[in-house]
């Protein structure tokens, strides 16, 4: 019987070794699930930031006299840029058409929103612009529509104020809800409305008809390097930095929220790895007890010619085998938890949601399983098990053969 087969027999017949593998499995499953949730959260947050703001955003001041084409031509010529589009963001208040609240800006049943005027690829979901005199089409999230009591086809009115030299002028425009758009983010679906840039420009009526330029990079492009290339390209085109005072990467747009999410991912990964570490540490006591109980078998191995080094290697291999079985079971259990994360959430919350979208931004729990992090988890667990097995292996290698065989 080979030493590997002997180790497998011990694992199957001794409950304490099975319990050791089970402890490692539970630790790995918990850490795998936590990593999948946080990796999903960070990934979805990064993706939503890029979708909303682009890989790079240039803020255009109202005093700028440069035309949109003067910005777009040098940007689109860059090899790192996949596309560049202009936008016009306008902040205002919204209510259902005909509501009395529209005549009183202090009314409590009005909702603030950001009217995002888009074009090109970003306006692909919008219907064609409406003829003059008819309500312009817009897209909004179901959360905002439900708050306003709107369904597809309903009219809504947006009002705001624009600069007119020394005073503010009240402006008001009617739109029609053409369809719903879902970003998956609670905050975006609650206050962001998409419209054609030309329709939003009718509210502004002064200054440039765009407020920012969204630059979408080709895959694999570093945002900081792209920002430097964009600044240089615009400078070469004769556009002063006064005409784009703010150049923000998608990481800048993410701000404190993105940095906090990344920090929490690393912190919770470290904390929950301690569970795996404790589970692996129990191998010390488990294997020491096994050495004591199996002294006679160890003596037989020595009598059959097994050297102390081979006996020590056998116990290191036994620990690795236990950890390997635990990792395999833990990954399987973790995958099961991840696949049924909504049911797990309801079970832990007593039938109620724990991850509220008002707090955690996303309407559903995001999940992302990365092969690299799973491989690191398994490798770290096996390494810890191997290190913790060195003391029991050393004790087993020092068992006297004659005394072990003479023991009854």
Q: What is the pLDDT of residue 99?
A: 45
Burial of 363 (0-12, 13-18, 19+ CB in 10 A): middle
Q: In the structure encoding, which two tokens stand for residue 116, read together?
A: 């995002």
DSSP character for 122? G
SS3 316: helix
Tell me how far the alpha carbon of residue 349 is from its chain's centroid: 22
Q: How far apart are CA 64 and CA 71, in angstroms?
A: 11
Q: What is the pLDDT of residue 174?
A: 84
SS3 249: strand
In contact, 184 and 363? CB cutoff 8 Å:
yes
> pLDDT for 195-209, tens place per residue?
888 888 877 665 567
DSSP character for 363? S
Q: Which residue has the tokens 């049924």?
A: 340
Q: What is the pLDDT of residue 361?
A: 76
Q: How far apart are CA 322 and CA 316, in angstroms?
A: 10
Residue ranges for the chain with pLDDT beneath 70: 1-14, 62-66, 95-110, 162-167, 204-208, 291-306, 397-408
Percent helix, strand and coil across the chain, each to the nearest 5: 55, 20, 25
Antiparallel, parallel or unpaired: β 212-217 and 155-164: unpaired
Q: How far apart are CA 97 and CA 151, in angstroms?
A: 13
* φ and ψ at residue 17, rounded to 5 degrees: -75, -35
Q: What is the pLDDT of residue 332?
A: 92
Which residues have CB under 8 Å from 295's CB, separation 6+? 399, 404, 407
Q: Which residue has the tokens 């690795």?
A: 320
Between the CA of residue 15 and those of 273, 283, 290, 323, what are the distances in Å?
Answer: 25, 13, 11, 15
Q: What is the pLDDT of residue 358?
A: 72
Q: What is the pLDDT of residue 13?
A: 65
Between the CA of residue 394 and those of 2, 301, 326, 382, 406, what are the distances in Å?
Answer: 20, 15, 23, 18, 21
DSSP character for 185? B
Antiparallel, parallel or unpaired: β 111-118 and 192-196: parallel
Q: In the structure encoding, which two tokens stand for residue 58, read together?
A: 């240039």
pTM (2 decimals)?
Answer: 0.75
In contact, 84 and 120? CB cutoff 8 Å:
no
| Conformational region of residue 275, where left means phi above 0, alpha means psi within -120 to 50, and beta covers everything else | alpha
Euclidean distance between the first and the last CA atom of the chain, given in angstroms as a whole number: 23
Q: What is the pLDDT of residue 362?
A: 80
Instruction: Tell me which residue of 63, 23, 10 sits closest to 293, measured CA to CA.
Output: 10
Q: What is the pLDDT of residue 100?
A: 44
> pLDDT for 121-168, tens place per residue?
788 888 888 787 788 898 888 888 888 888 888 888 887 776 666 667
Instruction: Tell me which residue of 16, 13, 20, 1 sits closest to 321, measured CA to CA.
Output: 20
Question: In the chain, what are the domain boundaries?
Answer: 3-47+256-406, 62-244
């Amino acid at each position: 019987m080979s030493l590997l087969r002997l180790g497998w027999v011990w694992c199957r017949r001794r409950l304490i070794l099975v319990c050791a593998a089970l402890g490692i499995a539970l630790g790995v499953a918990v850490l795998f699930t936590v990593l999948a949730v946080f990796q999903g959260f960070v990934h979805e947050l990064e993706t939503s930031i890029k979708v909303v703001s682009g890989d790079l955003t240039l803020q255009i001041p109202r005093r700028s006299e440069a035309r949109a084409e003067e910005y777009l031509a040098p940007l689109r010529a860059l090899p790192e840029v996949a596309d560049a589009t202009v936008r016009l963001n306008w902040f205002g208040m919204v209510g259902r058409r005909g509501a009395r609240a529209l005549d009183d800006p202090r009314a409590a049943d009005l909702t603030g929103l950001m009217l995002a005027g888009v074009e090109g690829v970003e306006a692909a979901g919008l219907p064609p612009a409406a003829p003059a005199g008819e309500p312009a089409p817009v897209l909004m999230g179901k959360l905002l529509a439900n708050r306003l009591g709107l369904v597809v086809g309903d009219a809504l009115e947006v009002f705001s104020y624009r600069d007119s030299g020394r005073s503010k002028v009240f402006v008001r425009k009617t739109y029609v809800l053409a369809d719903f758009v879902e970003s998956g983010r609670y905050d975006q679906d609650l206050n962001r409305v998409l419209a054609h840039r030309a329709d939003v420009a009718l509210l502004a009526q002064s200054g440039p008809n765009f407020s920012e330029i969204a630059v979408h990079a080709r895959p694999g492009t570093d945002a900081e390097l792209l920002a430097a290339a964009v600044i240089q390209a615009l400078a070469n085109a004769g556009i002063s930095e006064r005409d784009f005072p703010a150049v923000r990467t998608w990481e800048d747009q993410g701000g404190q929220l993105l940095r906090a999410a990344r920090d929490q991912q690393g912190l919770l990964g470290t904390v929950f790895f301690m569970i795996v570490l404790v589970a692996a540490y129990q191998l010390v006591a488990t294997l020491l007890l096994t050495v004591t109980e199996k002294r006679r078998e160890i003596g037989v191995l020595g009598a059959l010619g097994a050297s102390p080094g081979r006996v020590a290697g056998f116990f290191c291999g036994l620990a690795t085998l236990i950890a390997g079985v635990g990792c395999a079971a833990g990954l399987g259990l973790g995958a099961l938890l991840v696949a049924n994360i909504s049911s797990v959430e309801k079970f832990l919350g007593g039938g109620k949601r724990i991850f509220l979208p008002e707090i955690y931004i996303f309407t559903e729990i995001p999940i992302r399983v990365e092969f690299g992090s799973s491989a690191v988890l398994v490798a770290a667990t096996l390494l810890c098990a191997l290190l913790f097995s060195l003391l029991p292996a050393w004790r087993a290698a020092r068992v006297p053969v004659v005394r072990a065989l003479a023991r009854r």
